[in-house]
A and B are shown apart, each in its own frame.
Chain A
Amino acid sequence: MSSHREAPEISKDPVADSTDVYAFVSPDNPSTVTLIANYIPLEGPAGGPNFYSFGDDVLYEIHVDNDADAEPDVTFQFRFQTTVADPDTFLYNTGPIRSLSSPNWNSRQTYTVTRVKNGQSAVLASGLACPPCNIGPLSTPNYAALAQAAVHDLPGGIKVFAGQRAEGFYVDLGAVFDLADLRPFENLHAQYGMNVFAVAAPGVNATAQLNVHSIAIQVPIGQLLWGSPHGKVTDQGSVIGVWTTASRQTASVWDAQQRANCSTGPFHQVSRLANPLVNEVLIPLGSKDLWNTLPPSADKQFADRVTQPELAGLLPALYPGVFPNLAKLVAAGTARADLEAILLTGIPSGIVTGFQNYTGPVLADMLRLNTAIPPSAKPNALGLIGGDAAGFPNGRRVFDDVVTVELRAIAGVTVPLVDKSFTPDGAASLVTDGLTAASVPSGYLDKFPYLGVPYSGFETPKS
């Protein structure tokens, strides 16, 4: 998955497990950038009576680097507080929740947004209401409007939302984790001699009826930049690097008398995410937990895992004869400068005509967005490799097909960006897990917070 349950330790701590990060120039308000960090992977919509919520004991942050050193220059912090109105009932709600102030809503969350800029913290707002989870037609009637009421306008032209959303990331988990099976090509898989798949099959979106919890903030672009020349695509000052982290306090003791956890001490990072699939697919099992605790500026130590990705070696082995040119590239031990540029430095000027999102030589996994590139009138979910510079890996939009983009990149389709003599295999530009944005039943919103209305417990799964 993008980063769902991607490392051993964080897979045991879902409320602190970042799943996806998005950063894009807002299509309906192009003077702003929208930043979204998703948490709590694979929420079953019917998961009551204690429906999903953010962790009151977790510090959630979205970081922005605007001077190319892979250190945060602007950070938005989010802290949540749960209030239970009536502890004498087991019910999440004692009647229909028709508004965010409904007395029927028993267990609710509010949150505080703090901006840290140039080392100075400023609380932007507190007591902001999250929406309830989408339970069903009796508990949460007219859910879309109810949730939209939880979009809050803050001073300075900032919008914020924190709450449940439909999972917008689509991936065929069941196949991919079955030894890199890609159903549209599974008849070409070596299948370990078992001949399980005689013909190709369409992809299956494993996240099709699952929810996540999203933290979304929309910020005027100027508030994220530091003042160096910007506004033109060629200006390095137009490029920001984005990532999210979740942190927990260092010491945690179960207080048996209070029947509560006592968390104390400084916060330490337990989860990190920027580009999709980096920790998930590129970082080896023995380093994943470490990677989650480090800042992007420490990523140099993992550079060989990006430039020599394990999956690039597996594709030719698992799909014999399908990727012969990739096999030669891997056998030659060629470091993948294309992947380093896409994931660790940004793409410099002169590689893709009219495009750059380069942040300098510091090797760091950040989602790099050139804020001078306007939203596309006709978006292509394949982003830059689909000829749409407003999409991944120039930031990431909610509908971008990052699985296909990264599969094709690892398969070699982006090698010619840095080595004109290399000819990608024919399959490299076709490989996919067989899904598209249309594989997401909820669809997406054309306005903030852009991710779709969450699936309700009543309606999911469909009978």
Chain B
Amino acid sequence: MSRRSLLRGAAGAGAVGLAAAAGAGAVVAATRPASQPSLPPAAKPVTVAPMPQAAMAGPLVVYLRDTTTGEFDVFGDTGQVRVRNPQLVAQLLKNVQLAW
């Protein structure tokens, strides 16, 4: 699988952030499909620290401390949002495994 298709497969803001953190934000923006598969969070994301709207432009950093919980933190500007989305995490891990 190419890097481009790997990035395309990882949908949602978390995947954007992870890629942006690796310095590939522009690639993601250029390759984002018109209709993205929806992997909604299991619960309403929790604002740990308010994240300004402008932060969504990146860079964002995603921190996945424990892959078994389906929970991860997204950091942008001075904000932090905690998201619980087991489906997205599982999808992400599958994508990562493609690199092996």
Q: B residues within 8 A CB of A50? A: none
- Docked complex Cα distance between A216 and B49 (Å): 29
Identify which of residues 238-256 in chain A touch chain B, using a CB-to-CB cut-off of 8 Å.
Answer: 249-251, 253, 255-256
Do B23 and A256 have beta carbons less than 8 Å apart? yes
B61 touches A264 (CB 8 A): yes
The interface bits of chain B over 33-75 (1 if a CB of A lies within 8 angstroms of the residue's CB, else 0) are: 0000000000000001100000100011101000000000101
Contact of B59 among A255, A266, A267 (CB under 8 A): A255
- In whole angstroms, what is the CA distance A255 to B80 when docked? 19
**B79 adjacent to A266 (CB under 8 Å):** yes
Q: Say whether, besides A256-B23, A265-B49, A266-B48, A251 and B78 are in contact (CB < 8 Å).
A: no
Q: Are B23 and A255 in contact, with the CB atoms below 8 A?
A: yes
Please tell me if the beta carbons of A265 and B23 are within 8 angstroms of each other in the complex: no
**A257 B23 Cβ-Cβ under 8 A:** yes
Cβ distance A123 to chain B, nearest Cβ, rounded Å: 16
Give the Cβ gap from B6 to chain A, nearest Cβ, in Å.
17
B23 touches A251 (CB 8 A): no
Interface of B is mostly: strand
Min CB distance, B84 to chain A, in Å? 18
Tell me, rounded to whole Å, the shortest Cβ–Cβ distance linking A457 to chain B.
Answer: 36
Give chain A's interface secondary structure class.
Answer: strand
Across-interface contacts of A249 in B (CB, < 8 A): 75, 78
- Cα separation A245 to B55 with both chains bound (whole Å): 26
- Evaluate contact between B61 and A266: CB separation under 8 angstroms: no
Chain A residues with CB below 8 A from B75, complex form: 249-251, 264-266
> Quick check: is A101 within 8 A (CB to CB) of the other chain?
no
Partner of B23, one of A258, A264, A267: A258
Q: Report A-chain residues with C-beta under 8 Å of the C-beta of B78.
A: 249, 264-267
Known A251-B63, A253-B61; contact A262-B21, beta-carbon cutoff 8 A:
yes
Measured between alpha carbons, how far is A86 from B69 in the docked complex, in Å? Answer: 49
A251 to B48, CA, bound (A): 13
Tally of A-B Cβ pairs under 8 angstroms:
43
Choose among A249, A262, A264, A267 the residue with the greatest number of B CB atoms under 10 Å from its CB: A264
CB of A269, distance to nearest CB on chain B (Å):
14
**Among residues 220 to 277 in chain A, which have CB atoms less than 8 Å away from a CB atom of chain B?**
249-251, 253, 255-258, 262, 264-267
Cα A257 to Cα B55 with chains together (Å):
20
Inter-subunit contact A265/B59 (CB<8 Å): no
Instruction: Please tell me if the beta carbons of B21 and A265 are within 8 angstroms of each other in the complex.
Output: no
Residues of A within 8 A of B21 (CB): 253, 255, 262
Q: A251-B61, A255-B59 are in contact. Are A266 and B80 (CB under 8 A)?
A: yes
Report the minimum CB–CB distance from A293 to chain B (whole Å): 16
Chain B residues with Cβ under 8 A from A251's Cβ?
61, 63, 73, 75
Chain A residues with Cβ under 8 A from B76's Cβ? Answer: 264-265
**Listed A/B pairs (17) with beta-carbon separation below 8 Å:** A249-B78, A250-B75, A251-B63, A253-B21, A253-B59, A255-B23, A255-B59, A258-B23, A262-B59, A264-B59, A264-B76, A264-B78, A265-B75, A265-B78, A265-B79, A265-B80, A266-B80
Instruction: Please name 5 further chain A to chain B contacts, defined as beta carbons within 8 Å, in addition to the given A250-B75, A265-B75, A265-B76, sorted by A numbering.
Output: A264-B61, A264-B77, A266-B48, A266-B80, A267-B78
